[in-house]
Chain A
Amino acid sequence: MNENGLSRTGRRRPRRVADDAFFRTATGLVGGIVILITLAIAFELVRNSGLSIAKFGLRFWTGRVWDPVSGEFGALPFLWGTLYSSFLALAIAGPIAIGIAVYLSELAPGVLRRPLVFLTELLAAIPSIVYGLWGVFVLIPLVRGLEKGMPDALRKFPLFSGPPLGVGMLSAALILAVMVIPFSSAVAREVLHAVPSSQREAAYALGATRFEAIRAALFHGRTGIVGALLLGLGRALGETMAVTMVIGNNPQITPSLFAPQHTMAAVIANEFTEAADDLYLHALVEIGLVLFAVTLVINFLSRLLIWTMERSARTVPAPPAPVPLPSAEPA
């Protein structure tokens, strides 16, 4: 990711119409390939899950049993596990990622900024298997200790029920959060960077505190920040290796953070190699299809969210005035 979102100014060349036409066709073709690939993936997923679609139909989406021995397959526990772990990770990572972005783009002294940017982006480059190993050897014992130390009164809540294993939903969500933070924070930082400084200057001119000026900047870039968080969500939905190493891989639907659960990506990675039976294989591919569909729906919904936010930003003439703080001191 380049340091300042600005593009380099290229050398000027004599403009030629033929060049333009060629350029348009070439990029158009490349753009078309993306659509073709997406359609081809969808087609192949449907084609290779035909047996399972024919046998289970919509029951596949609501079935809770995954039994390769008797040939009964339902995706609901995996769907639940994927959505639960991803949104939980988003809830943990979101505030942290925005906090990092704000600090790096608004508050950090110049000496610290570069190394910190480098370090957060380094987090994104760590392979997920390494996160998984860290999860197994460091995170799981920590989480187990936390679970054991939890007072009995709290353990009665369904959110914290079950034996303290360490592996389970909480570990998965935590590891996903760590993996998502660099992506979301990097994009959020770029977004804040792109907020015109006139916004902040205007806020200061009106006597805003630093906090209020930052809030104005955040408000200005809010669609971009939501986009940054959703990018992180997308990554969490598809993450496989690190999750399967810490989530416990037990397909069950429970709100408990301590219970082992399972995700769609993890079950495919785990069971695909040994699935020799046709129906079993098709059911696994259909899990892939469900994951594909879920990703599409979430992408669509996030587009919709950003679109409505942008529209409201355009129709509302001015951002609402920051809530006045009684003891606002000039920064």
Chain B
Amino acid sequence: MRFSRLFAAVGVASALAVPANAQNVQINGAGATFPYPIYSKWFSEYNKLHPEVQINYQSIGSGGGIRQLTSQTVFFGATDGPMTKDQLLNAPGKILHLPTVLGGVVPIYNLPGDPDLKFTGPLLADIFMGKVSKWNDPAILKVNPGAQLPSTDITVVHRSDGSGTTYIFADFLGKTSVDWKKTVGIATALNWPTGVGAKGNEGVAGLVKQTPGAIGYVELIYALGNKIAFGAVQNMAGEFVKASLDSVTKAAAATKGAMPPDFRVSIANAPGSGVYPISSFTWLLFYENPKDKRAAKIMTDFMKWALSEGQKYAAELGYAPLPQEVVALEMNALGKIRA
């Protein structure tokens, strides 16, 4: 009895709701999980400003986003690593990459006393390849003179799921260590020479936190949120920089002169002072000439909002906002979407 009344109420409500908003537009997108918190914030804030626009986003992973965009089951995609040439050629139309925010990946570790450690790219590569397997290895002590390090084994913790975080981390290691590039490579999922796989940023953070002598890598926000010690990393200019929203944004600003017109750029190990080297854009993907012109118009407007007003939500959610130079370039590029 109670249930049937409830159903009736829901039925009446939905019957009333549908015709009232007949002008509603639903736009579907799918892709990366890393930017999901800010995207969902943006879409809900944008919905408050424009109640007729409802943007749905499924955070199914970058690979899934690219697949769904290519098979045209969603209007837009999202990815943490730019699409490869092959993937672009396989798509039925020209695809535009638009950076939305930035993220940084930090090396986290579990050592007695949580010392502040420094890492160089080649050192991190050697640790994650299992070549440096003790915490008091001379290679670590050389970069951290005077640090009190135990003789315990290093337990490498990496992602077990395919992930943009892994891509960003591997991209940096590949750029700084020839060995890494040759034997492991750069991708969202790798053939790890050593270590333990944990699912998701939270899985890696959790396992590092409870395993003495462990080292892992997570998005900056997870290290801050879980209060885990993370190390400074040497950038191209030779400085050891700790990740912060500011130093990650600087990495993007550093590439402004060399920004390719399609925005498919890696900012790992970017040049410049104060730059945090394990940084990356995350992108939204659009067809330049989509079929649904109305959605194209709406998403162009949305992007203009996200690149200006929307950026102020970035910091509170742990993302680094885009530098002004990149925003200006993107505002121009938005004209390529034919609405």
Contacts and interface: CB of A to CB of B under 8 A. Distances in A.
B66 A276 contact: yes
Among A67, A249, A266, A269, the most chain B Cβ lie within 10 Å of the Cβ of: A249
B187 A249 contact: no
Nearest to A259: B196
A182 interface: no
B210 A249 contact: no
A65 B198 CA distance: 19
B64 A273 contact: yes
Contacts of B269: none
A74 to B, nearest CB: 11
Interface string A141-166: 10010000000000000000001011
A69 B184 contact: yes
A270 B67 contact: no
B197 A248 contact: yes
A272 B63 CA distance: 8
A270 B199 contact: yes
Contacts of A163: 153, 155
B96 to A, nearest CB: 18
Contacts of B63: 273-276
Contacts of B189: 68, 270-271, 274-275
Interface residues on B, range: 35 or more
A227 interface: no
Interface stretch (B103-111, B139-147, B158-166, B227-235): B158-166
Given A167-B207, A249-B197, A275-B63, A69 B161 contact: no
Contacts of A165: 155, 196, 211
B192 interface: yes
Contact of B191 (A67, A245, A248, A266): A67
A274 B197 contact: no
A66 interface: yes
B328 interface: no
A59 B207 CA distance: 34
Given A68-B187, A68-B190, A69-B184, A275 B162 contact: yes
Interface in A64-120: 65-70, 72
A70 B218 CA distance: 24
B62 A249 contact: no
Interface in B66-87: 66-67, 87
A312 to B, nearest CB: 45
Nearest to A168: B196
Interface in B152-203: 153, 155, 160-164, 184-192, 195-199, 203
Contacts of B186: 69
Given A65-B191, A245-B199, A250-B196, A274 B211 contact: no
A66 B162 CA distance: 13
A263 to B, nearest CB: 11
A10 to B, nearest CB: 27
Given A140-B210, A273-B63, A68 B191 contact: yes
A33 B324 CA distance: 60
A66 B189 CA distance: 10
A244 interface: yes
B64 A260 contact: no
A167 B196 contact: yes
A270 B197 contact: yes
Contacts of A272: 64, 162
Contact of A270 (B33, B60, B161, B187): B161
24 contacts: A66-B191, A68-B187, A68-B191, A69-B186, A69-B187, A136-B203, A163-B155, A165-B155, A167-B207, A244-B160, A245-B199, A245-B203, A248-B196, A248-B197, A249-B198, A260-B197, A266-B160, A270-B197, A270-B199, A274-B61, A274-B62, A274-B64, A275-B162, A276-B87
Interface of A: 65-70, 72, 136, 140-141, 144, 163, 165-167, 244-245, 248-250, 260, 262, 266, 269-276
**Closest 8 CB pairs between A and B?**
A274-B162, A249-B197, A273-B61, A69-B185, A249-B160, A67-B191, A276-B63, A274-B63
Given A68-B190, A245-B203, 15 more contacts: A68-B189, A69-B184, A166-B211, A248-B197, A250-B197, A260-B197, A270-B189, A270-B197, A272-B64, A272-B162, A274-B161, A274-B163, A274-B189, A276-B66, A276-B87
